[in-house]
Amino acid sequence: MASSLGRKRTHAPKGSSALNDDVSCEVCSGGHSPSKLILCDKCDRGYHLFCLRPILPYVPKGSWFCPSCSNHKPKSFPLVQTKIIDFFRIQRSPEALSNQEGSATLNTVVEEKVKLGGSDLKVSGVGIGAWSWGDTTYWNNFEWNDRNEKAARAAFNTSIDGGLTFFDTAEVYGSGLALGAINSEVLLGRYIKERKEKDPEVEIEVATKFAALPWRFGRQSVLNALKDSLCRLGLTSVDLYQLHWPGVWGNEGYIDGLGDAVEKGLVKAVGVSNYSEKRLREAYEKLKKRGIPLATNQVNYSLIYRAPEENGVKAACDELGITIIAYSPIAQGALTGKYTPDKPPSGPRGRIYTPEFLTKLQPLLNKISEIGEKYDKTPTQVSLNWLVAQGNVVPIPGAKTAEQAEEFRGALGWRLTDEEVPELRSVASEIKPVIGFPVEKL
């Protein structure tokens, strides 16, 4: 089979978009109805925009890459899609097309934003967790400096450029009680303000969380904390407000506070986090009486921590129409393949992901890498895609750098096969899971 890439044609003037019977789409070879082509002003090849969409999901209006030469012609803001471009080159190259037999075909999909539960709020299929931003107690080797902040800002902007517009933070991330810390909400608010000054039309979905501290009582404590969070974020409302963990003295007042926040227009949707099946159902029913949907339950969920599947939380969420937001979806880096028994993570993570655990993890990492190599995907992208494949799940990996944010984007736009999803679960089931967040059992 001959490839159309690399074949010179007689085109319209470079850099133009025109109806021209002499110009063929490099993807479909003119197989669709006649339509205006986007013509690259560098290599002189043309494409239907709708032919590029399955390959370059989330391309902003007016911005695109030429899959043949990687020429980038932005009219709005820069876009980083190198992983997707590399896939396109591999799939369409003469070498790949002449060796189709026995090779894996990527199951590409056009990603759309995900509706959170029964709410009207829609977010990107993968979000970004901001737990590490400003933190000096668990992340960043116990210090936060200008270099860290510059990297976090780049991660924020790269995420948005790649279509990942959903950010999750909390009032306790980067707590002021920790030496040298900067509140994560403050940083996120700063980055949002800077971005909107450059691009006022940019869409960003923000989620934050209420800390159910023992000395906080009743619905008013939720509203007071929310107003403080809005002040730190520099916003008049947030898209999603969540109870970070169950309350020690009960949750009825907190749930009432969530409902009040919706009715006052301070939030678009509400959720909980680290809630058991029993507490989840109670919160759902209490809000339902006010006509307010419980949109989400944010829980620890990954290939090597599948407690939500085992304790009834995932089944209850599917039954009630509550979306799971998966935190630590790549097990705080353990599923990236970055760490080995000889080089475990530093800091508190090293006490969880020990050399002994990482040794037992190796067979799963080998299987993840084996599957990823078939599709030119990294272990991180495969692990995140596995969660997306569960349905009704939005993973929120933490991005400390632009490179990480760019890699996370590659988890979307394709799907593991129906055989690969259970195969990974089967291999992962041989590994004893790490300890989760204690409040999950409250």
Query: Which pLDDT tens digit goes with each residue over 53-95?
Result: 444 444 443 445 566 665 554 433 333 333 333 333 333 333 4
In the annotation, is 138 catalytic?
A: no
Q: Which domains, ranges and CATH numbers included, belong to the chain? A: 1-103 (no CATH), 114-432 (3.20.20.100)
Rounded to the nearest integer, the mean pLDDT of the chain is 82
pLDDT for the residue 199: 94
pLDDT for the residue 76: 34
Q: Which residue has the higher pLDDT, 165 or 28?
A: 165
Q: Which residue has the higher pLDDT, 27 or 290?
A: 290
pLDDT for the residue 116: 98
Pairing of strands 205-210, 238-243: parallel
Per annotation, catalytic residue among 47, 58, 138, 173: 173
Contacts by residues 194-202 (CB-CB < 8 Å, ≥ 24 positions apart)? 194/153, 195/156, 195/157, 195/160, 198/77, 199/76, 199/77, 202/160, 202/165
For the CA atoms of the chain, what is the radius of gyration? Answer: 23
Phi, psi of 91 (to 5 degrees): -70, -30
pLDDT for the residue 442: 56
Span 338-365, mean pLDDT?
92
pLDDT for the residue 182: 86
Q: How far apart are the first and last CA of the chain?
A: 61
Say how far apart CA 33 and CA 326 lie, in whole Å: 42
- CA distances 239 to 121, 204, 267, 324, Å, are 7, 9, 5, 16
